Amino acid sequence: MSDLEARLSALETHVESLERGARRWRRATMVLGAVLVSTFVLAATALNSETIKARKLEIVDEAGKVVMLADTTEGAGRLSLWSSSGANVARLGANEHGGDFIMWNAQGRVVGSMYATAQGARIETNAADGKGSASLDAATGLAQIALTDADNKPIVRAATEQAGGLLQVLGSSGQPAASIGSRAGGGFIVVQNNAGSEVGSMLVREDGTGKLLLADGKQPNILLETGTDGGGALQLLHSTRVIAGLGGTASGGLLNLMGPEGRPVVILGQASNAPGGALAIRDSAGVRVARIGIDPDGYGEMAVYGEGATRKKALNARDE
**Are 243 and 256 a contacting pair, CB within 8 Å?**
no
14-61: per-residue pLDDT in tens?
Answer: 445 555 555 554 554 454 444 444 444 445 544 455 677 778 888 888
176-212: per-residue pLDDT in tens?
Answer: 899 999 887 889 999 999 888 899 999 998 888 899 9
For the segment 249-258, the average pLDDT, to the nearest whole number, is: 86
Q: Which residue from 214, 179, 173 is spatially nearest to 195, judged by alpha carbons? A: 173
Please report, for residues 6, 49, 70, the alpha-carbon distance to residue 57 in angstroms, rounded to integers and kept in the order given: 72, 20, 5
The DSSP letter of residue 205 is -
Q: Which backbone phi and psi does 213 adopt, to 5 degrees?
A: -130, 135
Give the torsion sign (CA, 274, 277, 281, 287): positive
Q: Which residue from 248, 257, 312 is spatially nearest to 279, judged by alpha carbons? A: 257
Q: Which backbone phi and psi does 44 adopt, to 5 degrees?
A: -65, -40
End-to-end CA distance of the chain: 187
d(CA 175, CA 241): 28
Given a cut of 70, is residue 5 above it in pLDDT? Answer: no
Q: Which residues lie across from 252 on neighbouring strands?
A: 249
Query: Average model confidence (pLDDT) for the chain?
Result: 82
